[in-house]
Amino acid sequence: GAVVSQHPSRVICKSGTSVKIECRSLDFQATTMFWYRQFPKQSLMLMATSNEGSKATYEQGVEKDKFLINHASLTLSTLTVTSAHPEDSSFYICSALAGGSAGELFFGEGSRLTVL
Amino acid sequence: GDSVTQMEGPVTLSEEAFLTINCTYTATGYPSLFWYVQYPGEGLQLLLKATKADDKGSNKGFEATYRKETTSFHLEKGSVQVSDSAVYFCALSSGQGGKLIFGQGTELSVKP
């Protein structure tokens, strides 16, 4: 089946630094990708919808200047957590939509960010 | 707004036991409903789905029926295996180009 890869799978950084997480669709093109945040023992919270070649659409309450999303190609979206703080520590998951707006979603393995 | 509520875990069962994980939803219109599974250390995988009322999704021995009258999509399996240990997420889509709303997840642990 279709594969979505995230990198890095784990990252530890110091407070105040920026961290970039990549999400790649390996065997299909994805005009739309989604970024989620998952807290321990909690659900996935949709952060933003990433559209290739245009600005991301952020969900209410998500700071777009804090969580920069770039979808520069049909196979790559990146999430940059800027000036990270310990409260940004979380599990970030991306998904990519294969086959147009009515297609199937495929999820990456997730990236665990720890901010010291 | 739309929402999904799942039964809280963790759920611990013995091998070959019957499994039910409850899921109810609130949505305007007629959403599609999904169950995703997350095995330890892996990403989410689609387990099954149903796109309209009374549809039954099934896969790997798991089943769920879209019940509009009770706004439910409960997950069932007749005989669980140790390999079914994972976190299960119920989700809905109201058709906004792949946007999903997830329940909080239910952790299942199956003991030999």
Q: What is the pLDDT of residues B2-53, one digit of tens each?
A: 899 998 889 999 999 999 999 999 998 889 999 999 988 788 899 999 999 9
Closest chain B residue by Cα to residue A47: B99
Question: Please, which residues have CB within 8 angstroms of residue B96's CB and are 6 or more apart in sequence?
Answer: none
What residues in chain A have per-residue pLDDT under 50? Answer: none
**Given B42, B43, B104, which is nearest A42 (Cβ)?**
B104
Q: How far is B77 from chain A (nearest CA, A)?
A: 22
pLDDT for A100 equals 67
pLDDT tens for each residue of A10-21: 999 999 999 999
With CB atoms and an 8 Å threshold, state whether A34 touches B97: no
Chain B contact for A7 (CB, 8 A cutoff) = no
- Enumerate the residues of chain B whose CB falls inside 8 A of the CB of residue A34: 98-100
pLDDT for A99 equals 74
With CB atoms and an 8 Å threshold, state whether A109 touches B43: yes
> Which one, of A96, A108, A14, A106, lies nearest residue A51 by Cα?
A96
Q: Decide if B96 contacts B37 (C-beta within 8 A).
A: no
- Enumerate the residues of chain B whose CB falls inside 8 A of the CB of residue A49: 97, 99
Contacting B residues, span 11-70, partner chain A, CB-CB under 8 Å: 36, 41-46
Strands (E), chain A: 4-7, 10-13, 19-25, 32-38, 44-51, 57-58, 67-73, 76-81, 90-98, 104-107, 111-115
Q: How far is B44 from chain A (nearest CA, A)?
A: 6
